[in-house]
Copies of this chain bind each other. A is one copy, B any other.
Amino acid sequence: MDADHAKAVIADLGLAPDTIDNTDLTQALLVIHAAVGTPESEEARKLLGEVAKAAKKMVADEHLVFLAQYVADERIRKSQFKAATKWLKKAKEMPVDELDVADFEQTTGVGVSYTDDEIAAAVAKTLADNADDLAKLRYQIKATKLKGQVMRSLPFVDSDAVETILQAKMAEALGPMTEADIAAAASGKKGGKKGGKKGGKAGGKAGGKAGGKAGGKAGGKAGASAPDGTDAAPAKSVRTLPVTLDDPATLPDAPVTLKYSQRTSVRHVLSAGLKWSGAPVTVAGWVRTIRKQTTMAFVELVDGSTIKGLQVIVEEDKIGFAELQAAATGASLKVVGTIVESPGKNQAVEIKATTVEILGECSPDEYPLAKSRIKLETMWPLAHLRVRTKVVGAAARVRNVLAMATHEFFQGIGCQYVHTPLITASDCEGAGEMFRVTTLLKEDGLVSEIPATDDGHVDYAQDFFSKPAMLTVSGQLNVETYCAGLSSVYTFGPTFRAENSHTSRHLAEFWMIEPELAFADIHDNMACAEDYLKHCVSTVMAKCSEEINVFDQYVAPGLIDRLYNIVESDFTRITYTEAIRVLEAAIAAGDVSFEKKVEWGIDLASEHERYLCEQVYNMPTIVYNYPKDIKAFYMRLNDDPEAPAPTVAAMDVLCPLVGELMGGSQREERYDVLVERLKEDNMPLEPYWWYLDLRKFGSVVHSGFGVGFERLVLLCTGLGNIRDVIPFPRYPGEALF
């Protein structure tokens, strides 16, 4: 075999250069190429590679050439290929000039072609056959099933053509998606099986609420305003993210070994791509999938550094091949091998193993995640294992990137990180129900042994902190004290709510970010919140592009477009007073109706907030200067003669599909005004002595806001349930692990 000639042929046909390593395959390709040359059609060129692969099923080279000629002439295409090889295999004893060509052509559909009208007719028939299901399930019907029926009725029809026509006909038959369609989608159930009866708790609820209000809207936009916002949007994003991982230019010329762990990360190998081709490498991780053949095994190896797996090829003569027969999904492996260009289209490179070592086995019979598609809820009791799945692992990586983006942003604007206390004896803000922290209760203690005062009350003087102590609901008041010394600060830590809330948006323990900026007013505050959110989203889009693409495709169609919308919009900023005016005008024009009445002074409900940012402005929207009476005592009183009643410099950042994401305010820095506010709200002054001190001693204008970190992760992943974006969720009745 002339190697240079073989290389040229392989290149001509557009096959991977290392195809040449497979001698048999190359031999067959040379025979084929000598006979039929290089076809013009790309599909045909690629298919000749398949012909060569099929060579060992055939006895004679002449059969190979016979098939190759049909392929080169485009008389046999992808959809017919399987039938063709099958036919030839049966006829393998027959010399080529004795083959029954007519039978061959009929069996493999040579010459068969369909007009669009023919396909449309078949589609129409299939839709008619499924009329009942279609009426019941509408967009929840399983489209792949319908497509299969059409294709069976038109042998060898082109798959793409059927798909296009089927989608058009379904849209024609069903009309635009309705609110109910969206609600059904939101429930997270595929149609058919359970008929969408019993969606995820949260999805169903949120959907029901939103259903009422959006009824009057054009269906076309409904896609973007799916109520729960997460796994509900029915249409895929228009844009995709370039998959970048790490820039190969930032990587050295040879594989980098991770410090303290003698291996190279999967992320680095995939990022480097062909740059490291030919280099020896050691990788370690877990089996995502494994395919075993007699002479070769294919492993998709993951190590958590990226969502993508690394393909590892193990040939039968390699050390560990025998052992590998016992390996299944979840087993841990160490692989020593060489990085080579991959012939597959899913990756630029793969590993050709020299040795494979099974570090830890994983029995498919016992492993709860052995199956490939498991519902997210099913994994809640498996929180110790679920990070190994694609979706939960991707959410964990996004969470990590968001945490670092948060630090980068605030450090970058000169803020210092402050750890405010978790345990506190002051129930200052009254922001919610609090957990008590105590050493008075024992594991198996008797109630009668709990220390009591003479009049039978719990004796907190004997508790650890000598007084009642709670878990904090916010670090804001504490961090304001540091703002009054370090100027610009932020917290990032856990926060607690003892609320008996089982929704998809609430946790008993969650992480919160609370910046507090000295010498900053409400307008500075809004600018900071907008820039922070954009920084977070764009960082995730850059560093987790693979993950976001997967979420967009499988979890939250439209996610990428929504993220671009955040990054590219100049957020709308309107006063509360203006927002009420806009809502009232929309009602008067008959554009919308709400469950809760709109009038100046109400606390905006979720339906109002979402109408504003989704329907009116279609971008993140900041509403500010709220009525004093519905806001906390520490928010700065405005001088706002235009408003019907006093307002305070509060702000809420509302996001399409998500609703309120951040809330903040300029703080009341005037001692007398603050004391007055506390008195008006019938709050005692004494517990606030230290907070008031800040206004006595060198008080300054300052502002801040709070961000629920998990909500930010929901926003960026498109996931629908907050329990899926924190490692070990805590909610009523659940504190496992």
Contact = CB atoms under 8 A, between A and B. Distances in A.
Interface in A687-737: 690-691, 693-701, 726-728, 730, 732-737
A466 B411 CA distance: 41
Interface string A399-422: 110011001000101101111111
Contact of A478 (B359, B468, B498, B728): B728
A330 interface: yes
A497 to B, nearest CB: 10
Contact of A439 (B400, B436, B488, B528): B436
A709 to B, nearest CB: 8
B359 A700 contact: yes
Given A416-B396, A464-B508, A509-B421, A485 B262 contact: no
A439 B498 contact: yes
Contacts of A458: 441-442, 445-447, 450
Contact of A258 (B400, B414, B496, B508): B414
Interface string A488-499: 100001101010
Interface in A478-527: 478, 481-482, 484-488, 493-494, 496, 498, 500, 508-509, 511, 517-520, 524-525, 527
A509 to B, nearest CB: 5
Contact of A423 (B332, B387, B413, B730): B730
A700 B304 contact: no
Contacts of A695: 360
Most B CB within 10 A of own CB, among A393, A441, A736: A441
A448 interface: yes
A683 to B, nearest CB: 15
Contact of A305 (B367, B384, B419, B487): B487
Nearest to A327: B698
A517 B261 contact: yes
A437 interface: yes
A727 B420 contact: yes
A728 B469 CA distance: 14
A240 interface: no
Contacts of A629: none
B265 A528 contact: no
Contact of A437 (B331, B436, B442, B691): B436
A651 interface: no
A735 B467 contact: yes
Contact of A737 (B422, B424, B500): B424
A333 B482 CA distance: 17
B465 A456 contact: no
Nearest to A433: B439
A332 B699 contact: yes
B436 A519 contact: no
A471 interface: yes
Nearest to A690: B384
A94 interface: no
A496 B496 CA distance: 15
A486 B735 contact: no
B359 A699 contact: yes
Interface string A549-573: 0000000000000000000000000
B487 A285 contact: yes
Interface string A317-341: 0000000000000111010000000
A716 to B, nearest CB: 15
A435 B447 contact: no
A616 B515 CA distance: 47
Interface string A244-264: 000000000000001111110
A181 interface: no
A457 interface: yes
A321 to B, nearest CB: 19
A735 B424 contact: yes
A397 interface: yes
Contacts of A259: 413, 527-528, 531
Contacts of A450: 447, 450, 458
A614 to B, nearest CB: 27
A447 B437 contact: no
A652 interface: no
B441 A735 contact: no
Nearest to A736: B425
Given A396-B486, A443-B468, A450-B450, A421 B728 contact: yes
8 contacts: A261-B488, A359-B700, A396-B482, A447-B457, A450-B458, A464-B498, A465-B730, A466-B733
Given A425-B736, A464-B733, 6 more contacts: A304-B488, A360-B700, A399-B417, A435-B437, A447-B456, A493-B493
Interface of A: 258-263, 265, 267, 284-287, 303-305, 330-332, 334, 359-363, 366-367, 383-385, 387-388, 393, 396-397, 399-400, 403-404, 407, 411, 413-414, 416-426, 433, 435-448, 450, 452, 456-458, 464-469, 471, 478, 481-482, 484-488, 493-494, 496, 498, 500, 508-509, 511, 517-520, 524-525, 527-528, 531, 669, 690-691, 693-701, 726-728, 730, 732-737
Interchain residue pairs A-B with the least CB separation, the first 10: A360-B699, A304-B486, A387-B485, A260-B524, A425-B735, A332-B698, A384-B690, A465-B735, A384-B481, A400-B416
